[in-house]
Amino acid sequence: MAMRTWIGTSLLLVAACGDARQGAAVRSTPPPADGTVVAAGADLQQAIDAAPAGARLLLQPGAYRGPFRIGRPLVLWGPPAAVLQADQGCTIRVAADHVTLAGFTVEGSGQRFDLMDGGLHLHGKDLVVDGVTVRRALFGILAEGCQRVAVRNCRVIGTGLPAMGLRGDGIRLWETSDSEVIDNTVTDSRDLVVWYSSRNRLCGNTVLRSRYGTHFMYSHENTVEDCRYDGNEVGVFVMYSRDIALRRNLLARAGGAAGIGLGLKEAGNLTVEDNWFLACTTGAYIDASPLDPRHSNVFRRNVVRFCETAISLHAAQKRSEFTDNRFGDNGAVVKVGGDGDALGCTFVGNWYDTYQGYDFDGDGRGDVPFEFRRLSTQLEGRYPELALLHGAPAMAMVDLVGQVMPLFAPRKLLADAAPRLRAPMPRWTPEVADAR
């Protein structure tokens, strides 16, 4: 009964947190106390050029034709019904410090990838984008060469083209540091990119039906907390980066042959805590991570359920520690490429739904180690083409042969010296209130 309850609850969490927010409206951003009113249809670029530094321009509901360029500190506010439109270049290009864009809607842009055409292109320091909706733009919000940028409470609606590579990125940080991306929603886009960008905080974001929910590359000391990634090809991928923390995130339904909840490539000093990996093809994929012998990676108190493979190692890895995690209802706990195993990683105190042990001393930990051995999984790691037969009766027969014939006994792929007898209750669960 308890297991059925957990299964039903987890599926509800996936559905609630994945679908409920896709239609959520951006919260209204209150206008400044005073400022210069710009009527709909007026020459907004002329008003921007004529405004003194620090001016506040208040847009009225209606359409404003661009593109626009902001080259001095100012505040540009409008209600969602104020729509700034363009069909070439970047709809709004900011090249100044201390600029705030708030409340209005940006629609359209040019379509040239080589020029990074998009809705908002930011370059400067101490910039704020608050409560802005971007739709029908190639790229959504780009921060390039920036410091102390805050992108918060925005909504970016991508093109939704079937070919993911032909979409632009929803939010992109490029050589941007000490910034915040908070409480934004990105749908039907390509990636949320953080490249060559350090000391940034991503919190409370929702990314749906995109390619990479968040993609780090050469970016250090970043934090991802309380985010929702659902229906993407990859939830989060960390490449060539160090000192990344991921806490209390939902990484759900990363499907297809390449579906990965969390991927690591030559990434070190990661802290992965209190996350939920649900219904992904691969929960966590680890390739040459950590690469630096001084680094380690820690996976602690995560829930990994309904995945084809909970942990997939490209080859035998070292200096990764898995502690107090919950592994249940997965096709395989671990899969290792080549002819390797996961014995170089530390697994201690995790809960496995397939553990068959006992606890005579009553300390809540099994008195015999948990060992994962499966001939079909071992063979799939060595011969990836066998994945085509995954779940077929033939592979079930392979596992049966491995169990009853000592000649074909599978090797040990994983060992946990102190498995839990009872599944640990998560410190955090995704909010089901979103389903209302």
Give the confidence band of 384 by pLDDT, cuts at 50, 70, 90.
Answer: confident
Q: Which tokens is 40 given?
A: 């709909």
pLDDT of residue 339: 81
Question: Tell me, what DSSP letter sits at residue 238?
Answer: E
Residue 435 carries which DSSP code?
G
How deeply is 358 buried, as exposed, middle or buried, from its count of CB atoms within 10 A (0-12, 13-18, 19+)? exposed
Q: Above pLDDT 90, what percent of the chain? A: 73
Mean pLDDT over the full length of the chain: 89
Under the banding of pLDDT at 50, 70 and 90, the label for residue 20 is very low
Distance CA 308, CA 333 (A): 9
Q: What is the mean pLDDT of residues 190-205?
A: 98
Question: Would you place residue 390 in the very low, low, confident or very high pLDDT band (cuts 50, 70, 90)?
Answer: low
Strands 414-416 and 370-372: antiparallel
Cβ neighbours around 122 below 10 Å, total = 28
Q: Give Cβ neighbours of residue 306 (< 8 Å, ≥ 6 apart).
A: 10, 11, 278, 279, 329, 330
Q: What is the mean pLDDT of residues 367-394?
A: 74
| Under 8 Å between Cβ of 332 and 305 | no
Q: Hey, what CATH topology would domain 96-435 get?
A: Pectate Lyase C-like (2.160.20)
| Nearest CA among 226, 220, 224, 262 for reference residue 246 | 224
Does residue 196 carry a pLDDT above 70?
yes
Q: What is d(CA 283, CA 231) in angstroms, rounded to the nearest whole number?
A: 13
Which pLDDT tens digit goes with each residue over 74-107?
Answer: 999 999 999 999 999 999 999 999 999 999 999 9
SS3 219: coil
Residue 195: CB atoms within 10 A of its CB come to 19
State the Cα–Cα distance between residues 277 and 224, nearest whole angstrom. Answer: 15
Q: How confident is the model at residue 33 (pLDDT cuts 50, 70, 90)?
A: confident
Mean pLDDT computed over 247-275 = 96
Mean pLDDT lowest for which of 33-42, 43-52, 245-254? 33-42
Q: From residue 320, how far is each of 5, 102, 246, 269, 311 by CA, in Å? A: 31, 43, 15, 9, 11
Half-sphere CA count of 180, side-chain side, radius 13 A: 14
